[in-house]
Amino acid sequence: MDAVLRLITLQDFNTRVVLGGATVLGVACGVVGVLAMLRRRALMGDAIAHAALPGVCLAFLIAGGRFLPALLVGAMAFGLLAILAVTVVRRTTRVKEDAAIALTLSVFFGLGIALLTSIQRRAGSDHAGLDGFIFGKAAGMVTQDLMVLAGVSVVVLAVVAVFLKEFASLCFDSAFAASIGRSVTLLDVLLMALVCLATVAALPAVGAVLVVALLTIPPASARFWTDRLSTMLVVSGAVGGAAGAVGAGVSSLVPKLSAGPVITLSATAIFVVSMIFAPLHGVVPRLVRQRRNRQMVAEQSRRVAAELSGGSG
């Protein structure tokens, strides 16, 4: 109980850093996720996150240790490589995008597992601190690391803010965007680069396997609340931030609990609540509206029937 109190009241500096960092990561993923979802690239983040694992391992081997900025550069490089692989397969063959994504994701991840196993066997029982990249580990992170990750997320948010109008036209009417002289290809590349950055920044905290949760669940939750892009970005960012903070907090309280699953399930909880109760598209308000409509129609037809019978009588 004492630990919970300390966590909630943010007494430790480290707690504040972890929660703050996780929140910023969640916000960035939530915001970028909206754009990715609207552009029908929701699962590219999944491929990028899985593909980042071999990048992390190679960077670990090259840098000779767990030096976070190097690992992030490795992750970023392989994330971009995954995007390239999916694009090449989609453009040059009859193989469809879904197969391209699934194959890229699993093959790159397999490479990562092979490298990770080699590293672990060489390092003996020491897991070399790379395990966290699979299921995520927010609590054990050093302040400096979190600052780097939060910094990357802030850059992502800034770029989205600057190019918001361009992204909106890309997501809703790419033909229009092209017709007014915007380069759709360039914007798509920028969007994918942002997804890649946000994914990579979230990687150490959430883990390769579950980053996709932070990229898809907050936007899908926000979809129930609004039909406007700007509102949706804010709601999705808020959901992502909340999930990040709650997940990181809970996993730091319970030993041996990876942050990734907890962050994911926090987001899922918000999603379920949104799906049921959100005023605009939620299931319950929708049922209430339907009921009210039906009553109104029944009422009016009764009145009309009464008037007709009164008029003829």
- Which residues contribute to the site for other proteins (CB under 8 A)? 37, 40, 42-43, 46, 50, 89, 92-96, 98-103, 105-118, 121, 131, 134-135, 209-210, 212-213, 215-217, 219-220, 223-224, 256-258, 260-262, 264-265, 267-268, 271, 275, 281, 283, 286
Minimum CB–partner distance for residue 28 and other proteins (Å): 17
Which CB atom, from 141 or from 215, has the smaller least distance to other proteins? 215
**Pick 93 or 230: Cβ nearer other proteins:** 93
CB of 153 to other proteins, least distance (A): 20
Please identify, using beta-carbon distances, which residue of 17 and 55 lies nearer to other proteins. Answer: 55
Nearest to other proteins of 112, 237 (CB atom)? 112
Q: In the complex, what is the shortest distance from the CB of residue 264 to other proteins, in angstroms, rounded to a whole number?
A: 4
Nearest to residue 80, comparing CAs of 97, 115, 114, 55?
Answer: 55
Tokens 């897991």 appear where?
127
Q: Is the dihedral of CA 31, 33, 34, 39 positive or negative?
A: positive
Q: How far is the CB of 86 from other proteins (least distance, A)?
A: 12
Q: How far is the CB of 114 from other proteins (least distance, A)?
A: 3
Whether the CB-CB separation of 47 and 201 falls below 8 Å is answered with no
**Token pair for residue 76?**
């970023």
CB atoms within 10 A of CB 137: 22
Residue 246 neighbours by CB under 8 Å, 6+ apart: 262, 263, 266
- Helical pair 13-38 and 44-63, crossing angle rounded to 10 deg: 130
